[in-house]
Structure 1
């Protein structure tokens, strides 16, 4: 039997992946605003700690101490998940300090590409010609959509380049975490995996964070920290669950939509809260790229009928 086989409920898996993509498109905007008050380590520690506390009652009620009964391979995979996810969270925030949420979402698209390649190589997932065409259209669409910013990726140096480096490193860490989690789903439920990540990741971050920074936050900022933790928890459980129903390669294609969600929500936030964020600038090529991203993602996620 193929231990990497999915349930076949691809429509549910893609719906969950789409929900995750939207949540991940909103989250950078909130985090960008909080980075002016909390450093990346401390902000991530708060997110992990709050998420772990929210998840604790359910995990204890549903699984008890059974979640700690793992094989040796299981513990290796848990370690990879914790290190990969924690590195992904922290390095993304380190990059977000220097570049806009929209730019960060361009660079983080390396993660779905790494995930796609990992799904093909490690899990031997099939990828038909139609999916390869969708992947090519998706890459072209991303390039066109962000063409005003892509020129800055090679012409502007200094802090902007440092931000790109951290987000690109975050993308690689995310791919490691996702591929390890995919394998671990055969031993643990998605929420149990996330509990491991939040619990052990929060413990690791305790040595490099400064929780006392939280005393200086306003009630609104505290609310945003809590909201970011809730979004983190809900979106990652949704993401992990989606991989039980659909292949990693197709999930990665849907996640490529989150730059569109980020830019759209940035425009909405700038309209509702002037001065909070600056909306991304659009031109004709950007709109063409937006259409291609949607088309490419749809083609890449399409599940052809089995003969």
Structure 2
């Protein structure tokens, strides 16, 4: 089977990856507010449904909807893997979040882009230079320092807390499988068509678990946050899917690794202006040094020259 190869437009791939990082970085704040009024399954279903609708309208206006001929040549099994594993990622992540803390969840879910990067090396025959391997080591050390207290809690945790952490690890694995399947699907369909099928498939999968009636009674704040979460989904995943068209999966994964830093900065900014809405995270000098290491390691991997 012929494997997908990137277009080589790495600057565009980098820009799209940064868009994804920013949107995923601020998403937890909007989700935290939205989940005050809705259950996790309804929120997730709404995000996928709106994303499917908006993307379908956009592609129809541009006459870029997938044709029957293209759909016939699309590997159904690979598409099913992408849909099922992304849906599983959402379920496992939300269930794990209910059993553990947001901080530990953010630590463990960062296994996802790392696993995607390693999968890119193993499956798509991408290569790291020595400088990039050093960057990966710096990035790993940075996360260990940045989340030192959370990692300590993880080691000493027991019971449901450990079960929650296990679910987050599984969520990271399922996301990496989804991302690699999507990259291979680019052989047959453009990224926008792939995401349209994935959005629709995931919306159908979540439909049996939803309670949509509360959506009609949301106040302006919660409704605004829900709509933002939906728009965030279609733009962020669209940018992510397109970045894989132009850049190696291992490079994209390195940039995605800085998402927790964006989340922390966003939480701190919101806490300053709206302290009653979300509590700020406290950083030590060690944590700040870890954050710098994460960013430095990601840059070294993402911008290092290929062999």
TM over 0.5: yes
Q: How do 1:222-233 residues align onto structure 2 when only pairs under 5 Å count?
A: 222-233=223-234
- 2:32 is matched with 32
1:112 aligns with 2:130: no
Deviation at 1:71, TM superposition (A): 4.3
Q: How many residues align?
A: 306
Q: Assess if the C-alpha contact under 8 Å between 2:45 and 2:207 holds in 1.
A: yes
Deviation at 1:207, TM superposition (A): 1.0
- 2:152 is matched with 151
Deviation at 1:131, TM superposition (A): 1.0
Q: In 2, distance between residues paired with 1:67 and 1:138?
A: 44
- 1:288 is matched with 289
1:264 aligns with 2:265: yes
Q: In 2, distance between residues paired with 1:293 and 1:221?
A: 33
Q: Assess if the C-alpha contact under 8 Å between 1:190 and 1:237 holds in 2.
A: yes
Q: In 2, distance between residues paired with 1:213 and 1:67?
A: 38
1:238 aligns with 2:227: no
Deviation at 1:241, TM superposition (A): 0.7
- 1:8 is matched with 8
Gaps of 5+ in 1: none
Q: Assess if the C-alpha contact under 8 Å between 1:104 and 1:164 holds in 2.
A: yes
Q: Assess if the C-alpha contact under 8 Å between 1:21 and 1:254 holds in 2.
A: yes
Q: Assess if the C-alpha contact under 8 Å between 2:74 and 2:189 holds in 1.
A: no
Q: Assess if the C-alpha contact under 8 Å between 2:129 and 2:306 holds in 1.
A: no
- 2:125 is matched with 124
Q: TM-score, normalised by structure 1?
A: 0.93
Q: In 1, distance between residues paired with 2:77 and 2:247?
A: 24
- 2:56 is matched with 56
Q: In 2, distance between residues paired with 1:109 and 1:68?
A: 38
Residues 195 and 68 of structure 1: CA distance in aligned 2, closer, same or farther (over 3 Å): farther
Q: In 1, distance between residues paired with 2:66 and 2:284?
A: 55
Q: How do 1:88-107 residues align onto structure 2 when only pairs under 5 Å count?
A: 88-107=89-108
* 2:304 alignment partner, SS class: coil
Q: Deviations over 1:272-307 (max 9, x none)?
A: 11121111111111011011011100111113177x
Residues 288 and 173 of structure 1: CA distance in aligned 2, closer, same or farther (over 3 Å): same
Q: Assess if the C-alpha contact under 8 Å between 2:56 and 2:65 holds in 1.
A: no
Q: In 1, distance between residues paired with 2:14 and 2:68?
A: 27
Deviation at 1:34, TM superposition (A): 2.1
Bigger drift between 210-219 and 193-202 goes to 210-219
Q: TM-score, normalised by structure 2?
A: 0.93
Coordinate RMSD, CA, aligned = 1.9
Q: Assess if the C-alpha contact under 8 Å between 2:41 and 2:209 holds in 1.
A: yes
- 1:74 is matched with 75
- 1:193 is matched with 194
Q: Assess if the C-alpha contact under 8 Å between 1:32 and 1:96 holds in 2.
A: no
Q: In 2, distance between residues paired with 1:270 and 1:230?
A: 23
Q: Assess if the C-alpha contact under 8 Å between 2:17 and 2:239 holds in 1.
A: yes
* 1:206 alignment partner, SS class: helix
Residues 25 and 98 of structure 1: CA distance in aligned 2, closer, same or farther (over 3 Å): farther
* 2:65 alignment partner, SS class: helix
